[in-house]
Amino acid sequence: MTNKIVIANWKLNGSTTLLQDLLKPIINFVNSNKILSTIIIAPPIIYLYQVYSMIMNTNIMIGAQNVDIHLNGAFTGEISVDMLKDVNVRYVLVGHSERRLYHHEHDLFIAKKFKIVKDAKLIPILCIGETQEDYHAGMTKVICKKQIDSIFNLLGEQAFYNTIIAYEPVWAIGSGMIPKFDFIKDIFCFIKNYVLKKQNLNKKLFSIQYGGSVDENNIKKLCKIVEIDGFLVGSAALSLNRFLKILTITSKYCTNF
């Protein structure tokens, strides 16, 4: 039996007040209920240690939203993987579409981030996905393959051992829309089979998440897609009631056997 992984990506949102009003009730809820999902909170970097100090005696994990490709040096404003380890981060988002778009991170740069996270024995969460133009052109698999291959090209066939791939259609993020469920199922099967073939394995040693407008209204239906190993949640993770509903539903309906 494998539990689903629910990742809360807070993006550029957070305050010490939010930690008390949002995170503390989440911790109380998880401690008081039988939540089978693995929960990862990814706050802004400035709050990482505060979050860790609150969750350290719980089953909640901590993740970072970003990392630099350098370990130290004259790189003002960046944060290294060793710094993340120093505050007990275990997971790191890599290649989120917002980083690709707004910070012009290309595939090779993302692959270097992925590698430095793996080299540090942390777990990278590689975000992949197509734009709306690519989606309508039927290019989703081509785009996902290209983004996955950039990792294989740098790290070799063992690249995705003990990692997470988050498929997030760029056009779905924050839009309130998600692809048709048959489409999601097909893409997840493609990603799984493609990575297994490249790794020359029959057993899947990585997880595949779905992200992009995941909320309390569609989570139950998404749980019915057995190929999905978990969810990367954005805006709904900033609402206490919405996020608790997501956790409740994933624990009830989303346990893989």
**Percent helix / strand / coil, the chain, rounded to 5:** 45, 15, 40
Placement of tokens 């949002």 in the chain: 22
Query: Contact 69/108 with Cβ under 8 angstroms?
Result: no
Q: Is residue 96 annotated as a catalytic residue, yes or no? A: yes
Distance CA(37)–CA(61), nearest Å, equals 11
* Alpha-carbon torsion angle 26, 30, 31, 32, nearest 10: 100
Long-range contacts of 57-61 (CB under 8 A, 24+ apart): 58/27, 58/30, 58/31, 59/30, 59/35, 60/26, 60/27, 60/30, 61/90, 61/91
Residue partners of 23: CB distance under 8 A and separation at least 6 = 41, 51, 54, 55
Q: Is residue 78 annotated as a catalytic residue, yes or no? A: no
- Residues 70, 96, 103, 130: which is the catalytic one? 96
| DSSP secondary structure, 100-114, as one string | HHHS---HHHHHHHH
Residue partners of 251: CB distance under 8 A and separation at least 6 = 33, 34, 35, 36, 37
Distance CA(136)–CA(186), nearest Å, equals 16
- Residues 98, 130, 168, 216: which is the catalytic one? 168
Query: Contact 143/105 with Cβ under 8 angstroms?
Result: no
Q: What is the distance in angstroms between the CA of the first residue and the CA of the last residue of the chain?
A: 4
Residues known to be catalytic: 96, 168
